[in-house]
Amino acid sequence: MGLARTYAIALTGVAGHLVEVEAHIGGGLPATILVGLPDAAVREARDRVRAALVNNKLDWPGHKITVGLSPASLPKHGSGFDLAIAVAILAAWGDCPADGGDSLGPSQHAPPMKVPPGVVFLAELALDGHLRPVPGVLPAVVAAASAGMDMVVVAARNRAEAALVPGVRVITADCLRDVALWLRGGPEPAVADAGLDAGPAAATGAMTTTTVAGHAKDLAEVLGQAEARRAVEICAAGGHNLSFLGPPGAGKTMLAERLPTIMPRLEPSTALEVTSIHSVAGMLRPGSGLITEPPFCAPHHTASMPAIVGGGSSGMIRPGAASLAHRGFLFLDEAPEFRRDVLDALRQPLEAGEVIIARQAAITRFPARFALVLAANPCPCAKASAGGEGCECSPATRRRYLGRLSGPLLDRVDVKVRLQPVSRTQMLYATSSAEASAVVARRVALARDRAASRLGSTPWRVNAEIPGAELRKSFSVRPGALAVLDRAMELGQVSARGADKVIRVAWTMADLAGKPEPTAEEVHEALGLWMGTP
């Protein structure tokens, strides 16, 4: 009889769980049995593992093999268990007596395989034994480190990603035979340098837009629209949601796409969290490092609900655009063209900062603390001028078109701006007076520093994250400054949620102005921005 165990990681969303992989070789007809709630991809590992062992001239036991994945109650998904299963089988077969009173035993005499303690194996096996990369290696290595494991073995193409976690030694190999030789006392495969600094090769995420037509985007390229530029700066400084309403060519998309250019880089812990989400989604480029720029995701208006908020079957739950935009921006261009149920599905993550996907087998959580940016035309024909002239749509058609943006969704948008068409004068002469992204970014960074200093003893770092109860308790504004807001609430123009958002935006304006707290001026401007009538 032979028994051996190795370790792998099972992912549920971006949370990893240590899995003990046990292989037992006993008497009986030749068969390979996997137990422990494996999905189809894990069950297929027995065929991949057998072919890999045979093609690498390694022993395959011609007896009954039982592979157990513990904890047995945790669903196991994906092909990342292949290497751990193969090593466990080889180690169990090596522990069987080669001759004597037992009919079991390796066909060739080879040094016994010794699996060092604290090692996690994360790789898919090709039929020829080569190690293939798997998605989600970064959160898997984080989970391994949290469980006290100090070494991981991964495919070469996962090396840079696994090495982002400090305190874990990363072993990379090209094929199963290299791993087997190492565990039998042979040379060790290449070791990646662990560390958090990704260097200049840091990724920006597959859905992040940073350049256009071969040059970097800059806020200076936006002509005119001083009010909208002011709104963009406020939203970047405080993490607020933003809505643009205006005709085509007014600059809605240009302004939204330049939001990341005025944002500071992500802190290391936040960058690790963001990169983990993109790793689970399989969107990290091979060899890329941490995502240090705030993500900018702009899905097409035909996107389905799973594409926006995440979803899939219980064995293939993937993060959607809302999670890929975590700590960044989710831009919905032509927002009324999105299905209404898709738009309304964003209401929960906007409040909770996470997406919760419930399936029969498990509940998966994905972080989703993003700033929502909406852009819409005033009507379907998009021909309306500033005075409404030239529009071919009836009033009912306009109401129906904009009515796809529900009241509860718009109630969660902090800043609403109506853009006017760019005039010829602005096109010809406004370029020289427009501020560049670097100038605005410095003010945004200073405002964020002031907010972070004020919120230093709390779990929040920007004004948009402060819960309403804590906002009124610890960050209240002088009653005299709130007179205009109180009046609007009495008239039913502002909801309780809207009032909290007005106060949060007022705090951000005070941070931008270097004031210790908001005054009536900031509250009045914030109220106008929330109502869309500044």
C-beta pairs of 195-199 under 8 Å, 24+ apart in sequence: 195/163, 195/164, 195/166, 196/164, 196/165, 196/166, 196/268, 196/272, 196/290, 198/160, 198/164, 198/288, 198/289, 198/290, 198/292, 199/289
User: Do 298 and 389 sit in the same domain of this protein?
Assistant: yes
CATH of the domain at 247: 3.40.50.300
With respect to residue 201, please indicate whether it lies within any of the assigned structural domains.
no
Gap between the Cα atoms of 86 and 121, Å rounded: 10
With respect to residue 200, please indicate whether it lies within any of the assigned structural domains.
no
User: Do 331 and 420 sit in the same domain of this protein?
Assistant: yes
Buried b / exposed e along 68-92 (16+ C-beta atoms within 10 A)? bbeeeebbbbbbbbbbbbbbbbbbb
Cα angle value 57/62/63 (rounded, 5°): 140
* pLDDT the model gives residue 27: 81
User: Do 300 and 373 sit in the same domain of this protein?
Assistant: yes
Q: How many domains does the chain have?
A: 2
With respect to residue 316, please indicate whether it lies within any of the assigned structural domains.
yes
Q: What is the DSSP letter of 287?
A: T
Contacts of residue 349, Cβ cutoff 8 Å, sequence gap at least 6? 309, 322, 355, 368, 370
Phi-psi region of 335 (alpha: psi -120 to 50; beta: other; left: phi over 0): alpha
Question: Containing domain of residue 444, as a range?
Answer: 211-531
User: Do 174 and 300 sit in the same domain of this protein?
Assistant: no
* pLDDT the model gives residue 435: 87
Gap between the Cα atoms of 193 and 195, Å rounded: 7
Amino acid letter, residue 294:
P
User: Do 501 and 357 sit in the same domain of this protein?
Assistant: yes
- Which of 170, 195, 220 is the C-terminal boundary of a domain? 195
Look-up: residue for tokens 């302004």?
255
3-state DSSP assignment of residue 220: helix
Gap between the Cα atoms of 166 and 302, Å rounded: 41
The model's pTM is 0.87
- Which of 138, 167, 195 is the C-terminal boundary of a domain? 195
User: Do 81 and 218 sit in the same domain of this protein?
Assistant: no
What does residue 162 show for φ and ψ, rounded to 5 degrees?
-65, -30
User: Do 381 and 432 sit in the same domain of this protein?
Assistant: yes
User: Do 172 and 273 sit in the same domain of this protein?
Assistant: no
What does residue 508 show for φ and ψ, rounded to 5 degrees?
-65, -40
With respect to residue 35, please indicate whether it lies within any of the assigned structural domains.
yes
With respect to residue 15, please indicate whether it lies within any of the assigned structural domains.
yes
- From first to last of the 534 residues of the chain, give the pLDDT tens digit: 689 999 999 998 899 999 999 999 988 888 999 999 999 999 999 999 999 999 998 888 889 999 999 999 998 999 999 999 999 999 998 755 554 444 444 555 566 778 888 999 999 999 999 999 999 999 999 999 999 999 999 999 999 999 999 999 999 999 999 999 999 888 888 654 444 443 333 333 333 334 433 447 899 888 888 899 999 999 999 999 999 999 888 899 999 999 999 999 999 999 999 999 999 998 888 767 889 999 999 999 999 999 999 987 766 788 999 999 999 999 999 999 999 999 999 999 999 999 999 877 678 899 999 999 999 998 888 775 545 566 888 888 888 888 999 999 999 999 999 998 877 666 665 555 678 999 999 999 999 999 999 998 999 999 999 999 999 899 988 888 999 999 999 999 999 999 999 999 999 999 999 999 999 999 999 999 999 875
* pLDDT the model gives residue 257: 95
User: Do 349 and 453 sit in the same domain of this protein?
Assistant: yes
Amino acid letter, residue 156:
A
User: Do 424 and 469 sit in the same domain of this protein?
Assistant: yes
Alpha helices in 77-154 (DSSP H): 82-94, 137-146
User: Do 111 and 256 sit in the same domain of this protein?
Assistant: no
Longest dimension (CA), the chain: 97
User: Do 252 and 293 sit in the same domain of this protein?
Assistant: yes
CATH of the domain at 78: 3.30.230.10
Query: By C-alpha distance, which of 118, 114, 42 is closest to 82?
Result: 42
With respect to residue 182, please indicate whether it lies within any of the assigned structural domains.
yes
* 8 Å CB contact between 182 and 119: no
- Which of 195, 223, 243 is the C-terminal boundary of a domain? 195
Gap between the Cα atoms of 374 and 241, Å rounded: 8
